[in-house]
A and B are shown apart, each in its own frame.
Chain A
Amino acid sequence: MIRVANLHKSFKGQKVLKGVNLEFATGKITTIVGTSGCGKTVLLKHLNALLLPDSGEVLVDGIDLTKLRQKELYKMRGKFGVLFQGAALLDSMSVFDNVAFPLREKTKTKESEILKKVEERLEQVGLAGMGSKFPAELSGGMKKRAGLARALIMDPEIVLFDEPTTGLDPVLATSIHQLIARTQEAFGFTGVLVSHTIPQVFDISDYVAMLANGIIEEISPPESFRASQNPVVQQFIQGKTEGPIQVL
């Protein structure tokens, strides 16, 4: 289970997170929504300690990541898979090598098993036969699929998705959402998704958390979230510029 307690983070004096408290249910998908630039990605990057907070705790299975030494932190990161906004594929490698990369670097798996596992993952994300392509030869949607295959190759307990549908057309965005839901069902990981594509993202989320003004304003299942009387949530859902959310 992941729990974030009283998390504060600022950059060059600008406070981005002002005491975030949030729990992510194990084996479920929790989506963090909020306006652009509100700190969703900053919060996400705290969950596997890519960023360290000014104060507060990030507890994964009861262990506070902010207090770990580097070696222990690397071990904890093994529990996570991450799909970055731009997929972050290593562009000097083919899709196959990108997906195989964590296995080759972190395990002593035989090449024959790596071949089998990578091809299986590529097939699961709809990229069968595309292993020899390089990231520069892929479309935006294909890059995200390859990034997802890499995120899942180590069978992680937790998968973080940073705006997985940004820059994609609505059809492709829906297909990526469906892919996330399908893989979550197949692998049973705890998914944390950062997005602002509502209402589409409600369909695959078990919980929706609203980040605004540096704090979590609301966390509830999608139906309750839609019906929430919280003015911040309503302003966001209705896309109004007038309201409690400070529009930058």
Chain B
Amino acid sequence: MSSASTLANYLGQTGRLTLDQLAGMGRMFLFLVSAVFLAFRPPAKIRLIIYHIKTIGLDSLSVVVLSGFFTGMVMGFQGYYSLRKFNAESWLGSATALGLLRELGPVLSAFMVTGRTGSAMAAELGTMRATEQIDALYSMAINPVKYLVSPRIIASLIAMPLLTAIFDSVGIYGSYLVGVGLLGVSSGSFFSGIENSVVFHDVYSGFVKSVWFGLIITWICCYKGFHAPPMATGVSQATTESVVLSFVIILVWDYFLTSIML
């Protein structure tokens, strides 16, 4: 009898947990739908969009440039080491460019933006929740999703591809410096390899990924901040969860996008 009731308790708890998780996912999805719908509904918040392009784009620029440069340099070393085994060092430019444009550029710049700006979004909205600023917007008959979230979504859709393009360019330059400057790969073969192997679809798939990742970062970080429990630990918890969940969903979504656009 007691083992049966233990089992029933266990099943009950598992069921409740599953329902809670499903309800949470549903709320997250509805939040996204509402934010995207409101983003394209007048009046457009042009000033706010420009302000958030600055916070997402310009403020993340230094970290994106730095990480792109070193990623490219590491790719120069690793690519040279691998390609030399097949006497194919001249393909270094091609390998670096394809790797960055198709995969590493969008993913790593998304990680950088999540750490630099996404966490700040979650913390800012979480603090606004804790200090009743979001309630104040509601009470002034202003939809806080339209005012706080929608402009960030549009801004991220604009800023993220630009940051990714910068990451790619700086990364290729970093690889060039290591491959050509340090390891003696011919400059001509480095660039001709890029010219011969990179096609429009490679650039396009990186662009599509960066747009999706921009949406994912803003969606998750804003959702977590917006619904943070109104206390100091709630804000810190929301910030951590937003970063971890963004990383995971970026990688999962990257797999699906890659498999579709390969």
Interface with A: B91-99, B128-136, B156-164, which one?
B128-136
Residue from A74, A81, A82, A90 in contact with B143 in the complex, judged by beta carbons closer than 8 Å: A74
Name A49's closest neighbour in chain B (CB-CB). B138
Residue from B131, B135, B142 in contact with A102 in the complex, judged by beta carbons closer than 8 Å: B142
**Chain A 68-113 interface residues, beta-carbon cutoff 8 Å to B:** 74-75, 77-78, 80-82, 84-86, 88-91, 101-102, 105-106
| Chain B residue contacts of A74, Cβ below 8 A | 141, 143
Do B140 and A106 touch across chains, with their CB atoms under 8 A apart? Answer: yes
Residue from A86, A105, A154 in contact with B132 in the complex, judged by beta carbons closer than 8 Å: A86
| Chain A residue contacts of B135, Cβ below 8 A | 45, 50, 82, 84, 88
Determine the distance from Cα of A16 to Cα of B147 in the docked complex, in whole angstroms: 32
- Distance (Å) between the CB of A121 and the closest chain B CB? 14
Do A90 and B140 touch across chains, with their CB atoms under 8 A apart? Answer: no
B139 interface contact, C-beta 8 A:
yes
- Distance (Å) between the CB of A232 and the closest chain B CB? 29
Given contacts A50-B138, A77-B138, contact A88 B143 (CB under 8 A): no
Determine the distance from Cα of A85 to Cα of B135 in the docked complex, in whole angstroms: 11
**Chain B 208-239 interface residues, beta-carbon cutoff 8 Å to A:** none
- Distance (Å) between the CB of A105 and the closest chain B CB? 5
Do A50 and B139 touch across chains, with their CB atoms under 8 A apart? Answer: yes
A48 interface contact, C-beta 8 A:
yes
Residue from A50, A91, A105 in contact with B142 in the complex, judged by beta carbons closer than 8 Å: A105
Do A90 and B142 touch across chains, with their CB atoms under 8 A apart? Answer: no
**Chain A 211-226 interface residues, beta-carbon cutoff 8 Å to B:** none
Name B133's closest neighbour in chain A (CB-CB). A88
Do B139 and A82 touch across chains, with their CB atoms under 8 A apart? Answer: yes
Do A75 and B141 touch across chains, with their CB atoms under 8 A apart? Answer: yes
Chain B 112-141 per-residue mask, 1 if CB under 8 angstroms from chain A, else 0: 000000000000000010011101101111
Do B136 and A84 touch across chains, with their CB atoms under 8 A apart? Answer: yes
Determine the distance from Cα of A86 to Cα of B135 in the docked complex, in whole angstroms: 12
Do A105 and B131 touch across chains, with their CB atoms under 8 A apart? Answer: no
**Chain A 106-130 interface residues, beta-carbon cutoff 8 Å to B:** 106
Name A82's closest neighbour in chain B (CB-CB). B139
Determine the distance from Cα of A160 to Cα of B138 in the docked complex, in whole angstroms: 14
Do B142 and A84 touch across chains, with their CB atoms under 8 A apart? Answer: no
| Chain B residue contacts of A90, Cβ below 8 A | 128, 133, 136
Given contacts A50-B138, A77-B138, contact A86 B131 (CB under 8 A): yes
| Chain A residue contacts of B143, Cβ below 8 A | 74
**Chain B 33-64 interface residues, beta-carbon cutoff 8 Å to A:** none
Do A80 and B139 touch across chains, with their CB atoms under 8 A apart? Answer: yes
Residue from B128, B136, B138, B141 in contact with A106 in the complex, judged by beta carbons closer than 8 Å: B141
- Distance (Å) between the CB of A50 and the closest chain B CB? 5
Determine the distance from Cα of A154 to Cα of B131 in the docked complex, in whole angstroms: 22
Determine the distance from Cα of A78 to Cα of B139 in the docked complex, in whole angstroms: 8
Determine the distance from Cα of A89 to Cα of B136 in the docked complex, in whole angstroms: 8
Name the residue among B131, B133, B135, B140 with the largest chain A CB count within 10 angstroms: B140
Name A48's closest neighbour in chain B (CB-CB). B139
- Distance (Å) between the CB of A11 and the closest chain B CB? 12
| Chain A residue contacts of B131, Cβ below 8 A | 86, 88, 91
Chain A 149-160 per-residue mask, 1 if CB under 8 angstroms from chain B, else 0: 010001000001
Residue from B133, B139, B140 in contact with A91 in the complex, judged by beta carbons closer than 8 Å: B133
Determine the distance from Cα of A86 to Cα of B131 in the docked complex, in whole angstroms: 7
| Chain B residue contacts of A106, Cβ below 8 A | 140-142
| Chain A residue contacts of B132, Cβ below 8 A | 84-86, 88
| Chain A residue contacts of B133, Cβ below 8 A | 88-91
Name B130's closest neighbour in chain A (CB-CB). A86
Name B137's closest neighbour in chain A (CB-CB). A90
| Chain B residue contacts of A77, Cβ below 8 A | 138-141
The contact sample of 22 A-B pairs, CB cut-off 8 A, is A45-B135, A48-B139, A50-B138, A50-B139, A74-B141, A77-B140, A80-B139, A81-B139, A82-B136, A82-B139, A85-B132, A86-B131, A88-B131, A88-B133, A88-B135, A89-B136, A90-B136, A101-B140, A102-B141, A102-B142, A105-B142, A150-B140
Which B residues are within 8 Å of any A CB, using their own CB?
128, 131-133, 135-136, 138-143, 147
Further 16 A-B residue pairs, CB within 8 A, beyond A74-B141, A82-B140, A150-B140: A77-B138, A77-B140, A77-B141, A81-B139, A82-B139, A84-B135, A85-B132, A86-B131, A86-B132, A88-B132, A88-B135, A88-B136, A90-B128, A91-B133, A106-B142, A160-B139
